[in-house]
């Protein structure tokens, strides 16, 4: 599952001439569900959306508060085109879950989010409709999020989450040298060694 999370001052969704949903300050989330997604992907995305620290605190300290900390709103919009795979210049959407299967996942995500937060602050677009989405991006701040693959085992997913949390904490506490001991020489790179970037490339490259 993919999500594009945008910090906004306002956002709204219209179908035709009718506005079906709108929020003030908070997050507008575009969601793309893949054919491989399970309920665990839903749980992961919901947890991240509600806990990402994208807002200032009361003292103006950046990146310290989540949407739930500030009690802001969330607008979720289904967008299967996030699962696009380009074939030359033509988009292919076979990786997206078919609408009749994706809608229960989308509804489950909304339900989980409302259970974990204040339900009146969770808004949505109209699934499967041709929508116009208006977004006033605040910053701009845009985060691309993809649920991890190969973590269907709950223990492995929990381990992955803990590792991510430790990395975030170490980054926030790390000095300007990013944890590298001063004076430690960097290994010299062999100018004749290949980095792999110059290796074989796809034969399907367009000319």
Q: Which residues participate in catalysis according to the annotation?
A: 79-81
Question: Could you tell me if 80 and 92 are in contact, meaning their C-beta atoms sit under 8 angstroms apart?
Answer: no
Run of H or E residues at 10? strand 2-15
The structure tokens listed for 74 are: 């969330």
End-to-end CA distance of the chain: 32
Residues 6+ apart with CB under 8 A from 136: 8, 9, 10, 11
In this structure, what DSSP letter does residue 120 have? G
Beta bridge partners of 146: 2
Any idea which residue has 């006033």 for tokens?
Answer: 136
Round to whole Å and give the CA distance between 135 and 26.
11
The structure tokens listed for 151 are: 């973590």
Q: Is 171 helix (H, G, I), strand (E, B) or coil?
A: helix
DSSP per position, 28-70: EEEEE-BTT--HHHHHHHHHHHHH---B--TT--TT-B-HHHH
């Amino acid at each position: 599952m993919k999500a594009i999370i945008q910090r906004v001052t306002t956002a709204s969704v219209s179908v035709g001439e009718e506005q079906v949903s709108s929020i003030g300050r908070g997050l507008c989330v575009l969601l793309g569900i893949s054919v491989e997604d399970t309920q665990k992907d839903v749980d992961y995305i919901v947890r991240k959306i509600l806990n990402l620290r994208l807002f200032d605190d009361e003292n103006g300290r950046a990146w310290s508060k989540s949407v739930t900390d500030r009690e802001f709103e969330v607008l979720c919009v289904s967008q299967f085109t996030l699962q696009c795979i380009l074939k030359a210049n033509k988009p292919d959407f076979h990786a997206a879950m078919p609408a009749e299967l994706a809608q229960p996942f989308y509804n489950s995500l909304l339900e989980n989010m409302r259970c974990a937060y204040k339900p009146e602050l969770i808004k949505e677009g109209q699934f499967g409709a041709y929508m116009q989405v208006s977004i006033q991006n605040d910053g701009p701040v845009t985060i691309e999020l993809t649920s991890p693959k190969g973590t269907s085992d709950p223990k492995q997913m929990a381990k992955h989450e803990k590792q991510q949390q430790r990395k975030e904490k170490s980054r926030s506490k790390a000095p300007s040298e990013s944890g590298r001991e001063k004076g430690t020489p960097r290994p010299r790179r062999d100018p004749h060694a290949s980095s792999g970037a110059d290796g074989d490339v796809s034969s399907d490259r367009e000319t």
